Structure formats: structure tokens, C-alpha cells
Structure 1
Amino acid sequence: MPKIVIDGKEIEAREGQSVLEAAAEHGIEIPHFCFHPRLKVAGNCRMCLVELEKVPKLQIACGTKVAEGMVVHTRSERVMRARRAVMEFLLLQHPLDCPICDQCGECKLQDYCFTYGPEKSRYDFPRRRFERMNIGPDLVRDMNRCIRCTRCIRFLRDVAGDEAFCLSERGPKTEVGTYLEKPVMNDFSLNLAEVCPVGALTSRHFRFKGRPWLLEQVRTLCPGCSRGCNVVAWHDGSRILRLTPAANEHVNLEWLCNPGRLTIEREQDKLRLHAESPSDALAEAVRFLKKTDGSKVAVVVSGRLTNEDIYVIAKFARQVLGTRLIAAVETESDERPFGPSERPLQEWFIRADKQPNSRGAAEILSAGDHVSAEELAAAIS
């Protein structure tokens, strides 16, 4: 493993790592816009410029591989001057409306502006303006805020397997958009709201619903299908306002499909009790079971329950009711492997089985007396 020195600190880097990745692993921040660990390197924002000893020009940290004995300076006067210049160019045409931008609080440009941005602009000419473009039912594109990092293009092309986005025009007129203004219509387009480092692409489903610093975050699992994607649920104490992906190398990498994100819109009403309280529902169930022969009661377990819930229900059915008519809801089979793949997300991500814990239900019920869904249907018909 090559040893390098970054800002006077000697570190061990992995072979083939970039300077930016090695620095990040050791807690050294190098600002960047176009770099994303899951995407191919583009090197077009120039924000991650660093100084290498014995190299005459500044180099981009995202595209420079580590080498034994390399000495890197990330905060020299020369580097800081270059970063300030990059920020000044990025802010020339950028609207000064952070308080009303939906990306406020999660915007890299906003964060870096405090450290590297100029106190005032030297640009006295009218700012460039782009017309609104409808890019589909899930996203809002504001080209006036775009910094042309091309993250969105690379995600759609290399990860989602969709050539929907492209760069058009040249120079200051360069525009990111869809071919012939066709909408983006794939199941992973909402990932662009997280991939975009600024407020150029935002989700229609979360737009202006809440500020991130006012919301609580809870790590959980997506209920959309049996893949079990790791997600973060953002809530205000009474409602879940959005789901965003949480990284898991063995399940969903760092992505989340649109149907999974939008389960909160379909399930929100089911999370609330309206007419009856839990105690009323429980009392009604007790009254029914007291006047019923327990051995003739059929219990159907849903794959939407947790392992603990399924275990308690199965134990209650066997030991209290004395029935063996216990079965799990039948699921749709899916022969594709569960593990992540290098293929486009469209080919492996979304599972046919829409019950998030169908495997858990099958495993727990198999530990005791139970019947198949077909046998249960025959028994109660």
C-alpha cells in the first residue's frame, strides 16, 4: 500500500485510489462538485485542485492516483487562490436566492461559498437566464442553478442505463437537459435529486414541504419490495416527508427506486388510526376469539411484518389458539440474485416480490406447524 503525505500527515492509501478518496478516508476534506464515489470521474468542476510537490501545475485530486512518496498540499495559498477563482466563476451567473431554494441546507455550493466564495461579485452585466423545461412528473429542473458538473448525465447513462440527459450548446449557453425535451421516465430518476450537488434538480414530491434541519432522521428499510433497501426516513414528528437512500454495499449500494420512495405517499393514511383506537380493535378481536373454536381459526401472516411480529403471531396461533392453519401470504417468485450487480439498475434492482419481509415470514413459519397458502385456501373453502 503506497504511503503518501497530505498536509504534513503521512497516511497509507489503497492501490489505485485517487488523492481525493484517500484524503476523505483519513478525514481530510477536499472540496468537490463533479466527483461522486459511485460515478465515473469527469474532472470538470476543478474545485478539487491540489498542489503536488515536484509537479509544476495544480492537479485535480479526483483524477490523480496516489503513488508512493507523493506529497500533497490541499490548503496552500496557491490552492486556495485557485479555489476562490473557481467559486467566483461558478457564482457569476448563479442566482442569489439561497433562502428560497429547495436545496438550501443540503447544497455544496452554499457550503463552499462560505469558505471559498468572494464577498461580492465583480460581474456587472445582466445574468444569463434559462427557460423552464418540463423533464417529467418527478423532477423539477432549474437550469439557472446548474453548475454543469454532469453528475446527472453520468448517473442516468452509467448507473440507470438511460441516455435521457445530455449537454447541448457551448460556452456560457451550455445547457443540461433531455433530448428533444422528452421527459425522464425511468424508475430511478429521483436519485438525481441527491446526485445533483446544487438546486438544479429537485424532487416534485418533497419540494417546499420541509427544511432538512427541521426534520428528524431515522434509518430504516424500504417497504416497497423484498430487496430490503436501506433508507433514511425524514419526518416532522407526525408525518414522513421523504425517504432517501442509505448506503449498503450488499443490498442497494447508494440508490433507491422511485416506487420505493413513493411508498410513503401510498402508505401515509395507513399509518394513522382514525375511527377506532388500538384498545377497541383488540377488545373486538378478543370477543370474537372467545366464542370461536381456536383450532378452526386460520392465521395469515403478511411479509410486511417484522420477524418479531411474525414470531409472536405464530406462537399465539399454535399455543393459545391451538391451530395449525398458519400460512404466509403467497408471493411472486423472482429468480434474479439478491446481491448488487454492475449491470444497469433497471435489470436487477426492483424485485417482483412486493413484500419486504416475505423471506423472514417463510423462515419463521417453517420452524413449526404450518400449511402452504394452497392448503390454507382448501381448508377454509
Structure 2
Amino acid sequence: MRTKGLLTSLLLLAVLSIFAIVPKIAIAAPFFFPDMNPSFKKSEPPDWLRDGRGNDGYLTITSEVIPVNSCTQMSSQSFWGSDKTQLVLSVVTNGFKNKLDKVEIPIATFDGRDGGSQCASLSTTPTQVVSLANLSAYSIFNPGNLSLILNVKSSNDSNKDFIGSAKLLLGAAAIVATGGSAAAIGGVTTAVGTSAVSDTQSRANSLLQGMVDAKVPVSFNWAELRKGIEAVEISVYKTDQNVSGITDKQIAQLQKDSKADKQLLFTVKLEFQFFRTLFYPTVSNIDNLVERENLSPQFVLNHAIPGGSQNFMQLLNNASPSLLQKVSKAEGGDLSRACSTGFERLKSAGLDYVDSAIVMKAFLDEAKGDSSWLSNPVIVRACFSQAPAVQSYLEQIYGHSPIGKEGARAP
């Protein structure tokens, strides 16, 4: 009996010893990382996009996460139980002069703290990471530095809620869903307030710094972007690593090693769409646009400003004495100054030259009572000569008139 009891005690001591050293053992856990070689999808661009020099259209970039399978094993199962994987995918944009430039935008999350080893899917929705950004002017000497950075952040620390703040931003984006499918995160500030988004972003950035971050940058310039980029696709893989001890150098080696033991989980697709005018996004050729579409003052001036709660009439007429009243009575230098105020407000709102021509024409129609002013070169010169590119698009859209002798063709 004593021998049996002694054996039992020794066995118990051995088991306890094993558990005592388990925390010191480097246990492999899932680690997620993006491929360092994104795939570019291209097509023949329309003439206006290929030949344009800037301020002639808009760009929207929408993210979509495409899984390899509908059921994905995100976490791993071991003798000691399931790991508690948390995963956050986010995109940071630079150079687009968008309201959310340089802001980390969550596009997908996964929470494996409950039933982590079970079949699961990401929490995600198509999200506009760049919303109607003006195609900026560029030159050979200043082509523009544009980049998209995909961050793939993961952790197995179940004591911290890494994805809480990220989910809040992801949900806020869904509030302003457009067309029933794409979440326009550019409108988050309108939906939940600028301060709320700023505070959430600060909390999220602080907390997400505690995750292991594997990233891939995608860089290009305005000239390259105009050559017909349709989409950028980035593969995201899973491998087993000692996440707590992995270094940035090891992450980079994993990303570059084509022979690494890894499993493809999903692809992040960043889709590019180009628009000539926000009033009719499907229109590519704006010659005599007015003959094909409704560009009445009522339609144009009541149109919502991109990413804002005001319409164009409210934007232009937001002070006293009203700009509408000034334009209705002004001539010569006074009209030039009044129109200058209008152009500045439209520029601040991010409008391109095409839409600036459409909005200012509608505003003058409203102020003057009708569009007969368009045939008066004195009025046209007084208002539009200070913005020759806008004046050129005015002629191109509304047809040739006496203003054709005063301005150059649109760039």
C-alpha cells in the first residue's frame, strides 16, 4: 500500500512539474501575414483618365475580403486547449488628400476567444477606404507619392480586447452604407460625429499596438494610377509560430519565403473606380452632358456634398449677406470677387474642375433667374476668367458660345 501511495505521489508531482514549466515552453500559435508581392489587375483606361493632368475626376477605393473557403479554421487546437486568436485587418492610405488619409481603417476582424478552434468567418463588409478623392494635379517632377498599407494584426492574448475599438469603427462605417453594399467609411464623421471617430481612433491605435503586426505597402503615383489600375489583390496566409517572440525581421523573412509552411486563408481585394462627375458617376464623356442628363439648378444645388451633411446651395450660401444675393446684383469686379468666394468653397469641398463648372453654372442660373447669362461674354469673363480650367469645362459641357473665344480647351 505504501509503495502504491508513493507511486501515486510521484506521478502527481511529475504532472505538477509539467504544468509548472508549460508557461516557459514556446508553444506555436497561429500567425497571420500578407504576401509581399501584391497582384495588380489592369484594363485599358478611358481617354479622359489616361490623358488628364488633374482635377478632372474622382477616385474611390473599396476593400473586399474574399475567403478561400466559407468555413475557415482560424485558431489551432492542442493538448492544452484552443488558442484565443484575435485578428484585425486594416488599411492606411497616404497621399489621396482624403479626410481619412493616414487613418487606420479596419476592414475585417476575427474574435476567437469563444470557440476559437471552431469553423468561423471574418466579420467584414466591403468598405470604402478612399471615398471620392479628387484626382490631383501632377507633373513629371512631382508625380505624387501614393500608398496603401495593409496591416494584418494578430494576438493570442485573451485578456485584452484588441478588436473592440476596431469593431466599433467597422460598425460605424456600415451605418453609412451606400447602394446597399459598400460601406463608405468616409461618411463616418457625418454619421457618428468627428470627435467620436477621433476618440475611437486614438483608443484603437493605442490598443492595437499590442498586437503582432505584419504589413505590406502598395506604392504608386498619379501617372501610374491613370494607366488603368482596376484592383490590387493581396493574399493573406496563416502559419504556426511562437507569436510572443517573433521579430519584425522574422516577419519579413516569412513574407519573402516562397517555401514557408503556410496556408492561404483569404485575399484582400482593393478595387479602384474612377468617376468624371459625382452627379452622374457612370458618365465618361462629358461633351454636351447637359443634353443627355438632368443638370437643372434644382438637381445640382440640392445634391449632397460628398462626405458631408450639406447640399451645394447650403455650402455656397452659408453666410450673410448671402452669396446668392451678391451674385444676383453684382457686375464686373464685384461679380469676380463673389465668384471667387464660390470657387474657394467648392475647392475646399474637394470638387474637381468638371463639377465646379456644373455647380457654379447652376448657382448663377439661380441667382440671375435663368441661364441667359451664359451667352453674355462680359458676365462669363467676370466670373470664370479667374478659373480658366473651370471655364473650359463650362464650354465643353454646355456647348460652344461666345465664351469659347475667351478660354482655352479643358486639359
Relative contact order higher in (CA < 8 Å, ≥ 6 apart): 2
| TM-score exceeds 0.5 | no
Higher strand share: 2
TM-score tier after normalising by the smaller chain length: under 0.3
